[in-house]
Amino acid sequence: MIPVVAIDGPSGSGKGAVGFAVARRLGWHYLDSGAVYRALGFAALRAGVDLRAEPAVTALANSLNLQFVQDLSGEMRVLVNDEDCGLALRSEQVAAAASQVAAHPAARRALLERQRAARRPPGLIADGRDMGTVVFPDAVVKVYLTASAEVRAARRYHQLKETGFGGTLPQLLAEIQERDERDSRRAVAPLKAAGDAFVLDSSTLTLAEVIEQVLALVRSRVGAVPSV
Ligand code: DC
């Protein structure tokens, strides 16, 4: 069985940076499942689909032409229906749309196989909200990475400043809390730690410390894995 490491947690907990770095170190594949939902949110906004309309959103999910392409600098580019989403995929507008489309059970089902198809040798690091609970329940390591809402909002603020997007700290905190609320309360695949997940609070840890802790967990479960 191809090993999967599931890293779930709320927005801004650092899952993306940790998942990507761990995948690099191990030479494994990496699935950013949030980008899949963001791509659907992006496509729905583009097509003017009502984000609350489950059948229309699901039809869009079924027909979504989604490609992850690594460019020469190693950056992952996301193409939705052949259009490069660029930085728009990381905007708060697309994040909010992603959270809304992700609340539809049928749309989630439509995206399930696409995510499972990312499981390829020698292994996969998958980050999201339901990697350990729904998509890869047999993951060898499940990490639930979290941090206080204030720390997550501050991280997001610095990240957005770097990419040139605006937003004030109180506004970002309110948006994060709203998204947490919606992602945790939805009926299907809500944001929650799997019963067998290792809960890691990154509020007072550096990125490097979190990466080392996750790598140590992987080694303890999978045995000696090459590290590059
Ligand atoms: O991790 P992210 O911020 O890129 O995710 C964007 C939205 O997608 C998030 O609000 C919830 C949704 N999502 C989900 O429902 N399930 C996942 N596995 C990943 C993301």
Taking the centre of ligand 1 as the mean of its atom positions, its distance from the CA of residue 33, in whole angstroms, is 7
Q: Would you call 145 helix, strand, or coil by DSSP?
A: strand
Domain ranges of the chain: 4-220
Query: What value does the mean pLDDT take over residues 62-87?
Result: 87
- The two tokens of residue 90 are 């990381």
Query: What value does the mean pLDDT take over residues 77-90?
Result: 90
12-24: pLDDT as tens digits: 899 999 999 999 9
Query: What value does the mean pLDDT take over residues 18-35?
Result: 95
Q: Whose CA is nearest to atom 9 of ligand 1?
A: 99
- The two tokens of residue 24 are 């690099």
Q: Whose CA is nearest to atom 1 of ligand 1?
A: 34
**Is 43 in contact with 5 (CB distance < 8 Å)?**
no
Position 76, amino acid: M
Q: Which of 125, 127, 139 is closest to 24 using CA atoms? A: 125
Query: What value does the mean pLDDT take over residues 165-182?
Result: 87
Instruction: Give the predicted TM-score (pTM) of the model.
Output: 0.89
Q: What is the sign, positive or negative, of the torsion defined by CA atoms of 203, 189, 131, 37?
A: negative
Could you identify the atom of ligand 1 that is nearest to the CA of residue 11? 3
pLDDT greater at residue 222 or residue 61: 61
Residues sharing a CB contact under 8 Å with residue 114, sequence separation 6 or more, in sequence order: 36, 66
Q: 124-128 and 83-84 as β-strands: parallel, antiparallel, unpaired? A: unpaired
Taking the centre of ligand 1 as the mean of its atom positions, its distance from the CA of residue 175, in whole angstroms, is 14
Residue 189 is predicted with a pLDDT of 76
pLDDT greater at residue 183 or residue 14: 14
Both ends of the chain: CA-CA distance in Å?
22
Measured from CB, residues less than 6 Å from any atom of ligand 1 are 11, 33-34, 37-38, 95, 98-99, 102, 128-130, 179, 183
Q: Whose CA is nearest to atom 13 of ligand 1?
A: 34
Residue 164 is predicted with a pLDDT of 73
Give the model's confidence band at 25: pLDDT under 50 very low, under 70 low, under 90 confident, else very high.
very high
CATH numeric code, 4-220:
3.40.50.300
Residue 158 is predicted with a pLDDT of 87
Query: What value does the mean pLDDT take over residues 103-109?
Result: 96
Could you identify the atom of ligand 1 that is nearest to the CA of residue 35? 4
Residue 183 is predicted with a pLDDT of 81
Taking the centre of ligand 1 as the mean of its atom positions, its distance from the CA of residue 112, in whole angstroms, is 13
Average pLDDT of the chain is 91
Could you identify the atom of ligand 1 that is nearest to the CA of residue 182? 10
Residues sharing a CB contact under 8 Å with residue 224, sequence separation 6 or more, in sequence order: none
Q: Which of 110, 112, 139 is closest to 28 using CA atoms? A: 139
**Planar angle of CA 187, 6, 92, nearest 5 degrees:** 60
Q: What is the sign, positive or negative, of the torsion defined by CA atoms of 144, 133, 53, 57?
A: positive
Q: Whose CA is nearest to atom 2 of ligand 1?
A: 34
Residue carrying the six token digits 């948006």: 175
Q: What does the alpha-carbon distance between residue 52 and residue 73 come to, in Å, rounded to a whole number?
A: 37
Q: Is the pLDDT of residue 228 over 60?
A: no
